[in-house]
Structure 1
Amino acid sequence: MSTDQTTRPSTGEPAGHEHGFTLRRRRRTPWVLGGAAAAVAVAAAALLATTRQETSPNEVAGATLVVVSQEGQAAEKALVDFVGREVAPRYGIEVEFRGLADSTQLNRAVSEGEVAGTVYQHRLWLDQVLEANPDFREEAATPVYRWGFGLWSDKHRSPQDLPDGAKVSLLADPANEAQGLWLLERAGLITLEEGVDRWRATRDDIATNPKNLQFVLLDFGAQPLALRDLDAVAGYTLNFTTAGIGQDKLIFAPTPPDEFAAQLTIGSRWKDEENIRKLVAAFRDPAVQEFLATDPAVKGDLLPLAG
């Protein structure tokens, strides 16, 4: 069992986002005929909107296929822009990037066919999303890249320099907590129980913690802000470089496992549509891996898959 002490600071962020409709009350009128006509018009407009929503761009020949990620992710945008510019035309499709605000919004847009896919999540995160939203219908179509992931510190130059009782941040969701624990085990700071699934491990699976590390659970946005107050942070390179933190603060970064590779996630309803089959083929094109290995727009943030 673990000997850690866990701190859960409040980030002040809302627990979720509400999605709904604004209902507007119709103006009262003395004219029955006018009211009936208005009702017919409203019903017709609603029917037309429903009809439009039933036809996804995924089903329309020549439609632009939108691939989404979270807003502000420049490296992921650069990747999708590259596919749209250099690869997609060879497969007879048009691809463009769009940034959306949060995980639920992204996945709902994919599930409902508003967009063709997303490239921001690994399989374990997708499993969490689907468990929390059983009405979503999505699946991982193909791995695309690996995120840079490592141990960051503003105070120490190597994992071995961490003092007894060091405060170390892990990401606050189960899937990415597991990757953080995998990283700490690779760094020689902890060991996990024998036989435990490394990709689903939790702090309860820690067998030894010789430095008596104290774990601080933070979300993605809070980790870079907390770097100066902690001994180390286990997190994604992209979050730190986006926050303007140099990679000289990265003190340990082994090759990330492909179990945490980012997946092109698609809506299950459209997986057999010609547009989506061509989209998957485009992201599997060898040119994508060459781009990830060589282009400075993604260097260190997005890594190619293992050969």
Structure 2
Amino acid sequence: MNRWKKIIVTGIALVSLLTLVACGKAANDSTAASSSSKPIMLGSSGSDYQIWQHIAKSPQAKKAGLTIKVKQVTDGNVINASTAEGQLDVNAFQSYAYFQQYNKINPSQKLAALGTTYLEPMGLYSKKYKHLSDIPNGATIGISNDPANATRGLLLLAAAKLITLKPNFNALSTVKDIQTNPKQLKFKEVETTVQTLPDVDAELISNTRALDGGLNVLKDSLFHEKLTQKTRANVNILATAAKNKNNKQFKKLVKLYHDPTLQAWIKKTFSGTKLEVNKPISYLQENS
């Protein structure tokens, strides 16, 4: 009888131990799943919203253990403020230059750059002329009424050798900082879109606006940006609140964006106009 008692007691103990181990494993698995599947709230707009909607639903996101909820917000300042305040975890819509400008204006709500995504070239377009050399003396150039894009446009005109800029030209510079203007070009501030092209001789239009109007910057522009040391501040980034700059889950988004399969989809969908830039943030910084 004692022998049977020992067997029964041993059996009960073994069952109890296995149950505890199983429960412990289940609890750990549940915690890990909960941690890895916590949704990342990502704010975006325009074509970036379309891109991240696709990425969020992709097998690659699932494989990375990321659950991404994409929210569309049309105002860039609202996206950044919401990210700084924590309503959004990460945002994808802005160039590094825009990000820098935001941080300067909002020192108490600073953001951190997580990684690079692409360069979306700005282009100079015309309905009246087919070649850059055709632009006549005294031509009127449409330039953005947004200061950041206006500065970017002037840099593009300088790269096209239509004007030269003063040595101290910077992110806050305007048409007043043009050093030489041999063609005596005139500048008209407009809400730069394809629709306003007929009102000027040529116009500086962002790629997002150009795509919306059915234009391809690589094929239809008279001149467009290329990735150089001078245009690196125009590279788009993923950004988060400064306190989250080392968040491992958020950093996974950068690697996910550059997945070859996802990049093939982006290239096909946007006709190659979003030029992938897979560089460290240090590449974008002035002193790098």
Specify which of 270, 273, 279 is matched with residue 298 of structure 1: 270
Letter in 2 for 1:155: K
CA distance in 2, matches of 1:290, 1:296: 6
CA distance in 2, matches of 1:178, 1:263: 19
> Would the alpha carbon gap of residues 60 and 107 (structure 1) be closer, same or farther in structure 2, given more than 3 Å must change?
farther
For the Cα contact (< 8 Å) 1:181–1:201, is it kept in 2? no
Q: Report the equivalent of 1:126.
A: 99
Letter in 1 for 2:116: P
The answer to whether structure 1 residue 137 and structure 2 residue 107 are counterparts is no
Q: CA deviation at 1:229?
A: 0.5
The answer to whether structure 1 residue 259 and structure 2 residue 241 are counterparts is no
Q: CA deviation at 1:232?
A: 0.8
- Percent of matched pairs sharing the same residue: 24
Specify which of 114, 117, 121 is matched with residue 90 of structure 2: 117
Q: Report the equivalent of 1:239.
A: 209
After superposition, the C-alpha distances for 1:176-233 in whole angstroms (9 at most, x for unaligned) are 222211211121211123x3356554323212111111111234xx433311111111
Q: Decide which structure has greater helix share.
A: 2
> Would the alpha carbon gap of residues 225 and 135 (structure 1) be closer, same or farther in structure 2, given more than 3 Å must change?
farther
Q: Report the equivalent of 1:250.
A: 221
Q: CA deviation at 1:149?
A: 1.3
Specify which of 38, 45, 61 is matched with residue 63 of structure 1: 38
The alignment partner of 1:296 has SS state of helix
The answer to whether structure 1 residue 273 and structure 2 residue 247 are counterparts is yes
For the Cα contact (< 8 Å) 2:110–2:242, is it kept in 1? yes
Gaps of 5+ in 2: 1-33, 280-288
Q: Report the equivalent of 1:151.
A: 124
Q: CA deviation at 1:285?
A: 4.7
For the Cα contact (< 8 Å) 2:169–2:177, is it kept in 1? no
Q: Report the equivalent of 1:100.
A: 73
Higher mean C-alpha deviation, range 113-122 or range 274-283: 274-283
Q: Report the equivalent of 1:216.
A: 188
Letter in 2 for 1:112: E
The alignment partner of 2:226 has SS state of coil
For the pair shown, the structure with the greater C-alpha radius of gyration is 2
Letter in 1 for 2:197: L
The alignment partner of 2:269 has SS state of coil
For the Cα contact (< 8 Å) 1:170–1:234, is it kept in 2? yes
CA distance in 1, matches of 2:152, 2:60: 31
> Would the alpha carbon gap of residues 223 and 270 (structure 1) be closer, same or farther in structure 2, given more than 3 Å must change?
same
For the Cα contact (< 8 Å) 1:224–1:240, is it kept in 2? yes
Q: What is the aligned-residue RMSD (CA, Å)?
A: 2.7
The answer to whether structure 1 residue 182 and structure 2 residue 152 are counterparts is no
For the Cα contact (< 8 Å) 1:289–1:305, is it kept in 2? no
Higher mean C-alpha deviation, range 273-282 or range 254-263: 273-282
Letter in 2 for 1:68: G
CA distance in 2, matches of 1:143, 1:246: 22
Provide the TM-score with structure 1 as the length reference. Answer: 0.69
CA distance in 2, matches of 1:60, 1:231: 56
Gaps of 5+ in 1: 1-58
Q: CA deviation at 1:150?
A: 0.8
After superposition, the C-alpha distances for 1:233-289 in whole angstroms (9 at most, x for unaligned) are 112122022134566642222414322100101111222334223334433555555
- Structure number with greater CO (CA < 8 Å, separation at least 6) is 1
The alignment partner of 2:158 has SS state of helix
CA distance in 2, matches of 1:262, 1:235: 16
> Would the alpha carbon gap of residues 274 and 245 (structure 1) be closer, same or farther in structure 2, given more than 3 Å must change?
closer
